[in-house]
Structure 1
Amino acid sequence: MTSTWFESADDAAGRLRAAGYLTDDATALTAYLAGALEKPLLVEGPAGVGKTELAKAVARATGAELVRLQCYEGLDEARALYEWNYKKQLLRIQAAQAPSRGSDATWDETHDDIFTEEFLLTRPLLSAIRRDDPTVLLVDEVDKTDVEVEGLLLEVLSDFQVTIPELGTVTATRRPFVVLTSNASRELSEAVKRRCLFLHLDYPDAEREREIVSSQVPGLDDRVAAQLVDVVVRLRELELKKAPSIAESVDWARTLIALQIGDLDEATVARTLGVVLKHASDQQRAIKELKLASG
């Protein structure tokens, strides 16, 4: 089956822009190729550079449904693929053995009855595989999972299928657009990487970040936008626990609009740092290193 997500890299750039996501050339090209080649896309980079938002934007731009698997330490097959509704199965077993039935059902009959679609609880990976409509599957922060979880992904990423021992193999009739994100907190296996296209996202340059902020915050004065981005760039150069994300730059711009601030002077920067820096030590370092006024 052929699935047209984007007609070209230029089409991807234009439609993603219309969906509120400004891309560079590499991102637009890779997004196009991920759809054209039906290959999963592994997006790696620091937190807050728009990795997750890219998957959301693809869904918005193409009218697809977004299915998200949020990864975390301890994630297992039951939460990623599927599990059986054990409580409902137990009730069915008890009902099958009840004297009121007139005759006891054999175990084989009961077994075949309880391992059916009625008792299957689908989780994100299986849900995305089974959907007939266009679907974007977001496997978010895959580097936070245990190494064993990557094994669960391999069958999905290789053949877009899931094997359920009791029911057989479920194969996708329409391949989803798959985006895996990673903050590079650990190295992913070569087996997973081999199955994916790769895109590294970093913080945008000042010009593109100004464009992003201005597009997200209508009414922001161009001079204030330039001042804001200049400060954000300087903050990212410091050794902070958490550098400001693009989303936090946008939040800061909205804060300035709400406060009706027409000039981002040092005192205002110091007073509103809590919008972009969420650790007290980071705020103290910023005030000291950037020689900001304290009030």
Structure 2
Amino acid sequence: MNTTAPRPLPKSIDETLELLSAGGYVADRALATVLFLSLKMKRPLFLEGEAGVGKTEIAKVLAETLGRRLIRLQCYEGLDVSSAVYEWNYAAQMIEIRMDEAAGLTDRDLMERNVFSERYLIRRPVLEALSGLPGEAPVFLIDELDRTDEAFEAFLLEILSDYQVTIPELGTIKAAEPPIVIITTNRTREIHDALKRRCLYHWVDYPDAERELEIVRRKVPGAKEQLSREVVAFVQKLRQIDLFKVPGVAETIDWATALTELDKLALDPETVSDTLGVLLKYQDDIARMQSGEAVKILSEVKAELSTGA
């Protein structure tokens, strides 16, 4: 839980870039622009892109730099209201009912009001996100929305339209101030237009070599400069190959970290072969690289960097 005092929202695109940079996130101006507008207009930000490009990290950095709570709803197939929004503490309610009966209470309406009160309400991420005070609204991350089904997606429409949720036993609970909503999807399925219309949209792409190198410098400060350059150049070339799953920025950082832990100053064929499991996650891709493709790519990387290409 973030205990830092909430800070004001950025007042310009440049301030938004500075905010992200302060949290160690290397963003381009297009992302900073749509994020600034999302904060200014109090609209959810819908981030789409391949896995591992840094979509989730944006919400984390935003919560950290703004001093807000980060509330994360990790989506999955079969996610329902009781897991995402609220449920009642049935065990505690039964104890309350037994105690009321033992005390001779016979007013059924009163007993019902007692058990269906805030005291027995278990708040899940959606309800927690609507509970922020003015000036302290949390960052609400709805992560990998494409993993849920369309029924839950439809349920979110009320939340994103009016920032409220209806609990039959208590009534409608409305946010005093809308949370800062970040929605991510890996595009394993299309999200309905009705939900997208309520959001601002941005496609988070793989970074170019210059920006990825800056990311590695920030995230793996112990890595030697030559190693960092070779790692980034190698990964950039991998993304041009038709692999089952090309490595994202997260894998680049992991690989640079692993090589630094091995005290490597630069890449060599044996090290690349031995550590491909950090970078690639499918055996077919690893086997292809170990068949000679990795050595070829490494030779190209060494040649290009030595000539400053």
Alignment TM class, shorter chain as reference: over 0.9
What pairs with 1:140-289 in structure 2 (closer than 5 Å)? 140-288=143-291
Give the match's secondary structure for 1:43.
strand
Matching residue of 1:127? 128
8 Å CA contact 2:272–2:294 kept in 1: the answer is: no
Matching residue of 2:75? 71
Change (3 A) 1:5 1:292: same
**Structure 1 residue 288, shift from structure 2 partner:** 2.8
Aligned length: 288
Does the alignment pair 1:28 with 2:29?
A: no
Give the match's secondary structure for 2:47.
strand
**Structure 1 residue 106, shift from structure 2 partner:** 2.3
**TM-score scaled by structure 1?**
0.93
Deviations 1:250-271 (A, max 9, x none): 1111122222212212222112
8 Å CA contact 2:16–2:35 kept in 1: the answer is: yes
Change (3 A) 1:104 1:260: closer
Matching residue of 2:22? 18
Change (3 A) 1:221 1:152: same
Give the match's secondary structure for 2:181.
strand
Equivalents in 2 of 1:4, 1:194: separation in Å? 27
Matching residue of 2:3? none
**Structure 1 residue 4, shift from structure 2 partner:** 4.7
**Structure 1 residue 211, shift from structure 2 partner:** 0.9
Runs of 4+ in 1 over 3 A off after TM superposition: none
Taking only the aligned residue pairs, the percentage that are identical comes to 44
Give the match's secondary structure for 1:97.
helix
Equivalents in 2 of 1:84, 1:141: separation in Å? 26
Change (3 A) 1:108 1:283: same
Deviations 1:16-53 (A, max 9, x none): 11111110111111111111000000000000000000
Q: Which runs of 5+ in 1 are unaligned?
A: none
Does the alignment pair 1:58 with 2:62?
A: yes
Equivalents in 1 of 2:191, 2:266: separation in Å? 45
**Structure 1 residue 110, shift from structure 2 partner:** 1.1
**Structure 1 residue 289, shift from structure 2 partner:** 5.9
Equivalents in 1 of 2:241, 2:81: separation in Å? 40
Q: RMSD in angstroms over aligned alpha carbons?
A: 1.5
Deviations 1:169-190 (A, max 9, x none): 1111121110000001111111
Q: Which runs of 5+ in 2 are unaligned?
A: 1-6, 297-309
Equivalents in 2 of 1:288, 1:202: separation in Å? 29
Equivalents in 2 of 1:118, 1:211: separation in Å? 49
